[in-house]
Chains A and B, each alone.
Chain A
Amino acid sequence: QSTLTQPASVSGSPGQTITISCTGTISDVGVYNYVSWYQHHPGKAPKLIIFDVSSRPSGVSSRFSGSKSGNTASLTISGLQAEDEADYYCNSYTKNSGTLDVFGSGTKVSVL
């Protein structure tokens, strides 16, 4: 299936700010403001942390923020904490047939 392109891994020290990119096409990220981000600790349920490009669900830390420019969406984690170590996936609605939406390839965030 088609996937959005994310870096395989990003790392940072506690307190630092990191950014994860998510590159799509004019059929998904570039045309819709329906980009979401999910945090996934292996073995646990994925958690929605950003929706509609930059909105945060209730209860999600303000250290998480989202943005979009053209075909690329970004997730920024500021004040990196040990608990942020997890896999992160972006997700976008798509106009491509045969699939409802597309997910990113996933980024492993490591806190050094």
Chain B
Amino acid sequence: EVQLLESGGGLAQPGGSLRLSCAASGFTFRYYAMSWVRQAPGRGLECVSAIAPSGATSFYADSVEGRFTISRDNSNNMLFLHMNNLRAEDTATYYCAKYDTSQITRPRDQWGQGTLVNVPS
């Protein structure tokens, strides 16, 4: 059974940093592209970052470019999101999501339950 377990969320001050982690199991992690998708309170979903299986290629939404860094540890089946210079508008539940192949144009077929990040204004 595929499992994606996020951790690392919490309260952060504006301008502060957090590191989100996602522990993956139940599939061969190194073969699949991965992403972080967030949902702000009362709003829809937004993909903030995605990463290729090898980690060599990554994508960032304009809203987080230059502040967030996605990375992965294929040896330990872990996905990370390093968040710097946090803003109130980054307040959201952050989901770790697996693509169904190595391509980031494909659908996300498995998601975690999310971790909440709160940056008060």
Measured CB to CB, the residues of A under 8 A from B are 1, 3, 34, 36, 38, 43-48, 51-52, 57, 89, 91, 93, 98-101, 103-106
Provide the main secondary structure of the chain A interface.
loop
Are A43 and B113 also in contact (CB < 8 A) when A98-B62, A100-B61, A100-B104 are? yes
Q: Are A100 and B47 in contact (CB under 8 A)?
A: yes
* Total interface residues in chain B, CB < 8 Å: 25
Q: Can you list the 6 inter-chain pairs with the closest CB atoms, starting with the nearest?
A: A98-B62, A51-B107, A103-B45, A45-B111, A36-B107, A46-B111
Residues of A within 8 A of B107 (CB): 34, 36, 48, 51-52, 91
**7 more A-B residue pairs beyond the given contacts A91-B45, A98-B62, with a C-beta to C-beta distance below 8 A:** A36-B107, A48-B110, A51-B106, A51-B107, A98-B61, A103-B44, A106-B45
